[in-house]
Amino acid sequence: MVFRSPVGGRRRRRGGFRWQIMLLFAIGAGVYYFANQETVPITGRKQLRTMKHDQEMQLGLQSYKQILNDQRQNLITGGPQYNAIQEIGRKIQVAAEPWDPGFDWAFNLIRSDQANAFALPGGYTAVYTGLLPIAQNEDGLAVVMGHEIGHALAHHGAERMAQQNMQRIIGAGVSLGAGGMDMGAQRAVMGVFGGISQYGYALPFSRKHEEEADRIGLLLVARACYDPREAPKLWERMGASAGATPPEFQSTHPAPETRVQNFQEWMPEAIQIYNESCPDKIRGY
């Protein structure tokens, strides 16, 4: 059947999804992925990473300078808490030497109610004072700092940017593939793609990063002679302080109970490292 417009012209009938276009973009995404494989230090996982180390360091330094400038009124540069941050940071830095890609390293304490910390590419690390009551002790503080430094050592920021590029390639293929469909069908296809991308890829990918940083941080803590047994206790306290959280499949972070289970799985390895690195602190397992 041919549909005619009110002015006598012909309206083209919309077709279905053009899988050939999607296939071309999928092949392009596959080439992009396999041509840019790197190895994560410590865990040995293969990751997609296209950013050069110097670029990554420069971005980390820029962000670090901006944060320090914004927080210059809140920087703490002395006292017992500041000294603890410095000592823990330096010990973790030494523990990370075999995998250090040439970080500049810096450790800061920022006055804030946030129960948070960060480590940027380059080893630029900061702890907010709101985290200290939850950390409770140096071992707990080392666990948090080790986790954040684990993100930096694993190049998670650069990997995230590369993965987003790959998602854009696939998304462009889906959009062009649906271009021959009517607008309602196009919106439906892009909605399905968005849901799959979010819940089937982006959120699990983020949780994987958090899990990997937990493991790297735990091993760094053990090498630095801080008690790795504090890790599950710390994350239990973090979970309690966070209050109600969404279901794990909707979250960027693993559920507290998942993290505790992971730590129990990794703990024998961490204890072995702890006992070998710190014979004067051996307390068994």
CB 64 within 8 A of CB 120: yes
> DSSP character for 14?
P
Secondary structure class of 134 (helix, strand, coil): helix
Reduce the DSSP state of residue 70 to 3 states and report it. Answer: helix
Q: Are 24 and 32 contacting, i.e. CB atoms less than 8 angstroms apart?
A: no
User: Angle CA(186)–CA(191)–CA(197) in degrees, nearest 5?
Assistant: 125
Distance of CA 70 to the CA centre of its chain: 23
Q: Are 165 and 200 in contact (CB under 8 A)?
A: no
What is the C-alpha separation between 241 and 11, in angstroms, rounded?
60
Please, is 44 exposed, middle or buried when counting C-beta atoms within 10 Å of its C-beta (0-12, 13-18, 19+)? exposed
**Residue 232 CB: number of other CB atoms within 10 A?**
19
Contact 92, 222 (CB under 8 A): no
Tell me the two tokens of residue 34. 């396999």
Residues with catalytic function:
148
Q: Evaluate whether 257 touches 226 at the Cβ level (below 8 Å).
A: no
